[in-house]
Amino acid sequence: MAGEPVTVETRGGVGIVRLDRPEARNALSPEVFEALGEAIDRFDADPGIGCIVIAGSDEVFAAGADIKAMRDRSFQDAMTQPSARFWPRLAACRTPLVAAVSGFALGGGCELALACDMIVASETAEFGQPEITLGIIPGGGGTQRLARVLGKQQAMELVLTGRRIRAAEAHELGIVNRVTREGEWLDAAVELAQLVARRPPIAVQLAKQAVLAADETALSAGLAYERRLFELAMATEDRVEGMSAFIEKRKPRFRGR
């Protein structure tokens, strides 16, 4: 019998959630969506966690939504099942998210990685949106996020053909932050996450909100929003500590206030 569909651990201020459903190539069943959402919510509420890594195994990040669970789903089911709730839940996470991708990231798996704030990929990673081959289209943000990162033409090709791209091409196209050698992907992702986790947490969350707003707003509105968030950062104790530490030539001790 299959065990828990995700495992969690922490490493130096970083929460790591790993999809663990190897018999189905980490397909995102309703149970996986629920467990993943819960783990992310718990880490997001934990003041000891400054960054979250979402990972799979060496072989597969996630092969997408569970096709077997989806085949007989009615329209009503599709409206209410956990996957529909998962995506807004993920978007509400204030803590930065790093996707650590090795092997296949397909369909909802690719969308999960794209919904994260940064992606670290093994050279073995393959990304793709094969939904079209099943008679559906991406439903977890793939068309929108790919079009924003790649531009219309490149996104259109991937979405209309379902062609998979390897890590090197994904890096060239700007989807992936860095590509590592096989076997080094998780440590590299955790290292990047730990760097973020060492930064003052309120400023980190404000910075995440500011960058995400760039996709949603016109430049003038985005600049005004950034200005408000900057002013909030100025009101924190951590920024007094950060600036004092710089002037006194010592390491800052951030307390999340």
Q: How far apart are CA 15 and CA 26, in angstroms?
A: 19
How many amino acids of this chain bind ligand DAK (CB under 6 A)?
Answer: 22
Beta strands in 137-222 (DSSP E): 165-166, 178-180
Longest dimension (CA), the chain: 65
Site for ligand DAK in 40-69 (CB under 6 A): 63-68
Q: Report the run of H or E that residue 218 belongs to, with start and end.
A: none
CA distances from 232 to 211, 238, 257 (A): 15, 11, 11
Per the residue annotation, which of 15, 64, 103, 108 is the catalytic one?
A: 108
Residue 41's identity, in one-letter code, is D
Sketch the per residue contact string, 73 through 102, with ligand DAK: x for CB under 6 A, - otherwise.
Answer: ----------xx--x---------------
CA distances from 136 to 10, 108, 139, 159 (A): 37, 12, 9, 10
Q: How far apart are CA 120 and CA 195, in angstroms?
A: 14
φ/ψ region of 12 (left if φ > 0, alpha if ψ in -120 to 50, else beta) reads: left
To the query of whether residue 226 is one of the catalytic residues in this protein, the response is no
| N-term to C-term CA, the chain | 45
Query: For ligand DAK, which residue of 5, 30, 108, 201 counts as binding (CB under 6 A)?
Result: 108
CB of 106 to ligand DAK, least distance (A): 4
To the query of whether residue 62 is one of the catalytic residues in this protein, the response is no
CB of 125 to ligand DAK, least distance (A): 12
Q: Does residue 27 interact with ligand DAK by CB under 6 A?
A: yes
CB of 142 to ligand DAK, least distance (A): 8
Q: Does residue 106 interact with ligand DAK by CB under 6 A?
A: yes
Q: Does residue 34 interact with ligand DAK by CB under 6 A?
A: no
Sketch the per residue contact string, 123 through 142, with ligand DAK: x for CB under 6 A, - otherwise.
Answer: -------xx--x----xx--
To the query of whether residue 111 is one of the catalytic residues in this protein, the response is yes
To the query of whether residue 3 is one of the catalytic residues in this protein, the response is no
Which residues contact ligand DAK (rule: CB under 6 A)? 24-25, 27, 63-68, 83-84, 87, 104, 106-108, 111, 130-131, 134, 139-140
Active site amino acids: 65, 108, 111, 131
